[in-house]
Structures are given as C-alpha cells and as structure tokens.
Amino acid sequence: DAGITQSPRHKVTETGTPVTLRCHQTENHRYMYWYRQDPGHGLRLIHYSYGVKDTDKGEVSDGYSVSRSKTEDFLLTLESATSSQTSVYFCAISEPGTVNTEAFFGQGTRLTVV
Amino acid sequence: AQSVSQHNHHVILSEAASLELGCNYSYGGTVNLFWYVQYPGQHLQLLLKYFSGDPLVKGIKGFEAEFIKSKFSFNLRKPSVQWSDTAEYFCAVNRGGYQKVTFGIGTKLQVIP
C-alpha cells in the first residue's frame, strides 16, 4: 500500500464546531485529493492540490477549506460542521506524467456531526 | 463536464456465476479508465486500469475490463465470482493529461456461497 495516513480515523463532533482532518503521505506525490463517500453518491471530490500552496475546488467544496504548506501534508477543514457533512472522507494521492497516474487512497476518516 | 454512469447499483450472484458490471462515460476525447474495489470497511484499491494499447485489460484476482471507444464503455468482467469478491466496485475516468478523476456511484456486489 502507498504511504498515506489519515488522522483521525474516527471523529464525533458537534454542529457548529470547526474540524480539521489530516492527510500525510510519504510518497512525494504532487497531487493530493479529498473525497467524501456517501451511499448513493459514490465518491465526490471536495478539493485537490497540485503542489505546495496550489489548491483548487472540486464538485462539493462549499463548507470546506484546505491547506497544503508541505508536500506531504494536506489538511481539510470544516469551518463550521453541519450534519450534512457526516460522511466518510478519503484522501488520495497521485503523480502525473507517469504510467502510474492512478490515485492511491488512504484508509478513510469516519466523521459524525451530531 | 465528464460523467461516469454505473448502471447496476446492487448485484447479487451465486458463487461461480459470471460477472459483468457496466460503466459508461461521457467524455469524447482521450481518457484514462479505472476500476477500483472497496472491500467492506476498507479503502479503495485499484483493480485495473486502461491508458492506451490493448483495449482488453487484465487486472488482479481474475478481473478484466474491455474498453470500447465507440460505446464509451469500460465494462468489468469476471468469468467465475467467489464469495471473497463481495465488495463495492467503482468505475473512474480522467481525461488524458488531466489529474481530476471522476468516479461513478459504485456497484455493490454480493456473492452468495
């Protein structure tokens, strides 16, 4: 498995509180992604990064922000958590320009907003 | 915008039955195509991928997929499923040269012993 670590793996938080999820990689891949997985919706891209301090929005970015100050770390912040953000969050990494440009996924973070 | 359609959301098969999961995409240019598998409680793992060349791609665990450009399809097949194939399967596409990957909604496969 690719060296991707997500933390925490599980979190319960209250509505209205800020939450930060961390993705750490040891593969030195340039691209990093945050997806959320919900039944009936597959995986939906929240934000992605194509380099340090270079990020862009995905299809479901409202209510989320990201930061990437180092190649190895990509943080996802829920500015004020809502129940609709209860989900499983997956981080992924990839490296462009090679034949192995598929995404490698972390183990996931199960977030519950109560 | 590109999209990915997986037509079968929940499939139930008996062991040794043949499997075919449909995947269609909407983008007309050069594409890279993927099938991922997610076993219960686990993360997504790559099953197989198509970038170029032979449109029949073989992956791990006896799975294969065929890219039919004229039909915008990349269907996943396995001649004889096992109970251990019970999982959710995701088709994914990205445009050649771009990194954003679009996933289908997934197909849950349940194999009955």
Domain that holds residue B8: 4-112
Helix then strand then coil, % of chain A, to nearest 5: 5, 55, 40
Q: How many CA atoms lie within 13 A of A112 on its CB side?
A: 4
Q: Evaluate whether A43 touches A37 at the Cβ level (below 8 Å).
A: yes
pLDDT band at B20 (very low <50, low <70, confident <90, very high): very high
Q: Evaluate whether B27 touches B92 at the Cβ level (below 8 Å).
A: no
Sequence spans of domains, chain A? 4-99
- Which residues on B lie below 8 Å from A104 (Cβ)? 46
Q: Can you give the pLDDT at residue A24?
A: 98
Query: Residue B68 maps to which CATH number?
Result: 2.60.40.10
Structural domain total, chain B: 1
User: Nearest Cβ partner of B99 from A43, A96, A107?
Assistant: A96
Task: For residue range B37-85, list pLDDT tens digits in order.
Answer: 999 989 999 999 998 889 999 999 999 999 999 999 999 999 999 999 9
Q: Could you tell me which residues are beta bridge partners of residue A106?
A: none
Partner-chain contact B43 A40, CB within 8 Å: no
- Which residues on A lie below 8 Å from B94 (Cβ)? 101
Supply the CATH classification number for the domain A4-99.
2.60.40.10
Separation of alpha carbons B77 and B47, rounded Å: 11
**Of B17, B78, B69, which Cα lies nearest the Cα of B47?**
B78
**Of B79, B57, B62, B72, which Cα lies nearest the Cα of B23?**
B72
Separation of alpha carbons A89 and A11, rounded Å: 11
For A107, the token pair is 């183990």
> What stretches in chain A show pLDDT beneath 70?
1-2, 97-100
pLDDT band at B35 (very low <50, low <70, confident <90, very high): very high
- Which residues on A lie below 8 Å from B89 (Cβ)? none
Partner-chain contact B42 A107, CB within 8 Å: yes
